[in-house]
Structure 1
Amino acid sequence: VGPAGPTTATRMDKFTDMMLGLGLLVMIGKAERGQGAVAEIAKHKVAYLMATGGAAYLVSRAIKGAKVVAFEDLGMEAIYEFEVQDMPVTVAVDARGNNVHTLAPAEWRKKIADEHLLENT
């Protein structure tokens, strides 16, 4: 597999329930997911992993095996099943629907307030 950069996941939000209903365990992308997609991720008890855009080489090094599972005629746009090891990704939404894009800003707002970091600026 050559460079394997993630796609912007939000454009796939409308297909999330259908894809998860087919048995996907994990989705990988590079953007925050919409509220509907996060709810579907929690409903199906799977995870959404986020890869860094521009790190396609690092992602490709983690891919140890690949096979086309659908739409082979689409070439690089086909749907692949990857066997990976040590892929550089972050859990952005866990199987309970905990969303780093919601939780992290709230946590940092609290830390900033608790430590009075914005006073006297």
Structure 2
Amino acid sequence: TDKVLAETGLFAMVGKAERGPAAIASIVRHKTPYLAAVGGAAYLISKSIKAARIVAFEDLGMEAIYEFDVQDMPVIMAVDVEGNSIHNSGPLEWRKRMAADSIARNIGI
């Protein structure tokens, strides 16, 4: 991730997998957010891509780096430029909510 971000000047990355600590550090260093596309939404995502061109690693096929012109792409901010990741904050929030619900049920609220 660091090499790609250092050498390409990407505005943002789009994917669907969780980013590890090294990738998140690169995202913060290069101020390049990571946006998540929802799995199974390929049709909707494809409709938002108005133009595409390969800019690097053409030999990697689908894993090449593309430049897209998009309109209304259905993605969410997965890792922001400060390193906040929904893969960390999301589970923490749901654990808190589930614990609160469990306590409420146990005391009859």
Runs of at least 5 residues in structure 2 that lack an aligned partner in the other structure: none
Partner residue of 1:102? 88
Secondary structure of the structure 2 residue equivalent to 1:103: helix
Q: Which has the higher helix share?
A: 2
Partner residue of 1:21? 6
Runs of at least 5 residues in structure 1 that lack an aligned partner in the other structure: 1-15
Whether contact under 8 Å (1:112, 1:118) holds in the other structure is no
Q: Deviations over 1:92-121 (max 9, x none)?
A: 10010000010111122222223425748x
Alpha-carbon distance in structure 1 between the residues aligned to 2:17 and 2:105: 29
Secondary structure of the structure 1 residue equivalent to 2:53: strand
Q: Deviations over 1:1-39 (max 9, x none)?
A: xxxxxxxxxxxxxxx001110211211111111111111
| AA partner of residue 5 (structure 2) | L
Q: Deviations over 1:33-86 (max 9, x none)?
A: 111111111111111011122221111100011123234566555432100011
Whether contact under 8 Å (1:69, 1:80) holds in the other structure is yes
Q: Which one has the largest radius of gyration?
A: 2
What is the TM-score with the length of structure 2 in the denominator?
A: 0.81
Q: Pick the aligned partner of 2:52 from 57, 66, 86.
A: 66
What is the TM-score with the length of structure 1 in the denominator?
A: 0.74
Secondary structure of the structure 1 residue equivalent to 2:47: helix
Task: Compute the RMSD of aligned alpha carbons.
Answer: 2.1
Secondary structure of the structure 2 residue equivalent to 1:83: strand
Whether contact under 8 Å (1:30, 1:53) holds in the other structure is yes
* 2:28 matches 1:42: yes
